[in-house]
Every structure is written in structure tokens, then in C-alpha cells.
Amino acid sequence: MTQSTISDISRALIEIAWHFGPKGLNGECCENLTMPEFIALDKISTTSQCAVQDVGYSLGFTKSGATRIVNRLEKKGYVQKIKSHEDARICCVEITKSGERVLSSANTRYMEQFHTIAAKMPEHSVADTVNMLKAMATALKG
Amino acid sequence: MTQSTISDISRALIEIAWHFGPKGLNGECCENLTMPEFIALDKISTTSQCAVQDVGYSLGFTKSGATRIVNRLEKKGYVQKIKSHEDARICCVEITKSGERVLSSANTRYMEQFHTIAAKMPEHSVADTVNMLKAMATALKG
DNA sequence: AAAAGTGGTTGACATCGTCAACCAATAGAG
DNA sequence: CTCTATTGGTTGACGATGTCAACCACTTTT
């Protein structure tokens, strides 16, 4: 029992998580966007009237962590903070044109990565693989 | 084009990578083991005469990063460094009993997580899912 | 109007990995 | 056999990133 204490399935999950995770893809998703920044930017782009804490929530960060990541994105010119008219405490975070561009570019990079991998899986069709991953992602949220 | 700039497949991959990655599972795989430590420990447990740099290589870390992570594991009592007899420059890193215990426990936790997810995927059998993930992991290495 | 709650920010801090310089040991060339 | 180049590993300084706790500003409750 000295060798191979962990199972294939754990190893596979880890491999995937590591490759597509914060450290994979050379530690950056696209240009100067880290993985958490990518997730944050996606959240912001798909949420109208996105409060700073909403960003933190989707990343599992504290609210101060949320402030920091939004500030970083703002400094890079990818988002803007605008005070809400309804409630002056809330900052609505909005994606800029530049942010949309970089988000779409990061997406492209992800897709390329995925297709490179998918091409190396002769036993599985790309469509099946995609379906399974989507199902898994859905299951993760539920 | 303001909404939803990134595709479902990217989103699914990110979801999975984030959940099973360094930040997922509450930021720790098991007890006081981080994700990179988990990977390192697995590498060490399956490699005989494991040099410090081998650990770094499997994580994509520099050699100084490798030293640091091995030291952390050593401080926690999960590995031991032993000078090689053949080449006195090399430290052979070996897993301890305590290390094996924690590795196996982390593995269990991973498996539980996976099965919870798999149970929520009615369209896909667990076996199919496992096969696909393994195929993907293999494709990643090749 | 006072008290309690909520959104956001900030300073101090811990963690973690890199870079570059370094030491020790080995291997190769003459 | 010695001198040099290479290799494995460590360390100090540093940058990046997230947390905690205290704080301010604005709202809501009483």
C-alpha cells in the first residue's frame, strides 16, 4: 500500500482542475487576466446592476477580497464602478468595451485549449464530452 | 453582445476547475493539506527516489518553489528528506506513515465530492462519467 | 431621532511562489 | 589529476493575492 494511495478518479479530477485552474494555462487565462479575474469579469458581464459583493460571492471571497479584485479590474480598465441611484451605498460594477474584448479573447483561448484536448480523446465525441462537462457544471451549482 | 460573451463550455470548465481546484473544497483538500500539497504528496508517494525538483516539475513550479513546498510538507510531518547515497546532491523525498494517512483521507474526500456531483447527473452513468474524465486527464498529459 | 443593519474600503497581516544569488557535489576536458 | 562547467538544492528579497477586523457612509427599523 506504499504506492498509489490515491485513486484514478481523484487524479483525473485534479489533473483537469490543475490544468484549467489558476495555475494552468501559464497562470493566466488571457493576456493579463488571472483566473479569478476571468470569473469575476464574466460574472460582471452577465449581471446587471452587479454589486461588488456579488462578485465576491461568485468567487467565494470575502467582501474585502471582492473590493480588491474589482479594483484590480478597474485599474486595468476592464470595469467601471458607478454609484447606484436607488441606494447610494451600492457600487454597480459594469464591464467596459475593453473588458468585453479581453473576456471574449480569454474565452477563445479556453475553447482552443479544450478542442486540443478533445481531439486527443478518440473514444469520445466532442459533443458527448461537452454535454458531460455541462451536466457536471450544472450539478456543481445545484 | 453585452451579455454572455463567454461560452457554455468555457463556463463549465471553469466551474469544474474552480470547484475542484485550489480554492474549491474550502481551499483545502483535506485537513491541513492545500491542493498543491496534495499533488506534491501524491507525486512523492508514487515516485521512488523522488528528488525535490521532481515535485516541482509535476506542479510546474520552479526549483525554489519545490524546495518550499517540500519543506512545508516536512514541517507537517508528511514527508522526510534523505540524502541519496549515489549522489550526495540529491535529497530523496519520502512519504511518512502520517503522510500516507492524510493522502488517503484527502482522496476519500475527493471521491465523496465526486460522487455527490455524479449523483446529480441523471443523464449520465457514473461509469461513463469516470471514463470520460480519465480520458480527458490522459489527453492532458499526452 | 436613535439604533441596528448593510455595502464598501482600508491597514495590517499571512501565505505562497518567483527571481537571483549562492553553496555543495558531480561530471567532463585537458 | 586538476580546473571548469553543470546540476541539485537552499535562501533572502520581493510581488501578488486574499483574509480579518475596524471603519465610514448610507438605509432601514423601531
> Could you list the pLDDT tens digit for every one of the 142 residues in chain A?
444 567 899 999 999 999 998 877 666 677 789 999 999 999 999 999 999 999 999 999 999 999 999 999 999 999 999 999 999 999 999 999 999 999 999 999 889 999 999 999 999 999 999 999 999 999 998 7
Residues of B in contact with A136 (CB under 8 A): 12, 15-16, 117, 121, 129
Cα A48 to the center of its chain, rounded Å: 18
Average pLDDT over residues B51-70: 97
Average pLDDT over residues B110-115: 91
CA angle B46, B115, B33 (to 5 degrees): 45
Domain residue spans of chain A: 9-141
Q: Cell triple for residue A13?
A: 479530477
Q: What is the per-residue pLDDT for B3?
A: 46
Task: Inform me whether the C-beta atom of residue B16 falls under 8 Å from chain A C-beta atoms.
Answer: yes
Residue B37 pLDDT exceeds 80? yes
Query: pLDDT tier at B32 (50, 70, 90 boundaries)?
Result: confident
Q: Which CATH class is domain A9-141?
A: mainly alpha
Contact present, B83 and A98 (Cβ < 8 Å): no
Q: Is the CB of B81 under 7 A from strand D?
A: yes
Residues 6+ apart with CB under 8 A from A118: A124, A126, A129, B139
The bases of strand C with some atom under 7 A from any protein CB are 5-11, 15-21, 24-27
Query: pLDDT tier at B1 (50, 70, 90 boundaries)?
Result: very low
Q: Which residues pair with A79 in a beta bridge?
A: A95
- Nearest partner of A81 among A48, A52, A39, A46, judged by Cα: A52
CA B93 to CA B91: how far, in whole Å? 6
Q: Do residue A103 and residue B135 have CB atoms under 8 angstroms apart?
A: no
Rg of chain B's alpha carbons, rounded to an integer? 18
Length of chain B equals 142
Helix-strand-coil percent breakdown of chain B, rounded to 5? 60, 10, 30
Q: Which sign does the torsion angle of CA A111, A112, A116, A122 carry?
A: positive
Q: What are phi and psi of A82, to 5 degrees?
A: -130, 125
Contact present, B79 and B71 (Cβ < 8 Å): no
CA B2 to CA B133: how far, in whole Å? 33
Q: Which residues pair with B30 in a beta bridge?
A: B33
Is residue B92 helix, strand or coil?
Answer: strand
As a CATH number, domain B8-141 is 1.10.10.10
Q: Which residues pair with A50 in a beta bridge?
A: A93
Q: What are phi and psi of A33, to 5 degrees?
A: -115, 120
The amino acid at residue A47 is T
Length of chain A equals 142
Q: What is the per-residue pLDDT for A28?
A: 66
Contact present, A51 and A90 (Cβ < 8 Å): yes
Task: Inform me whether the C-beta atom of residue A21 falls under 8 Å from chain B C-beta atoms.
Answer: yes
Q: Cell triple for residue B104?
A: 488517503
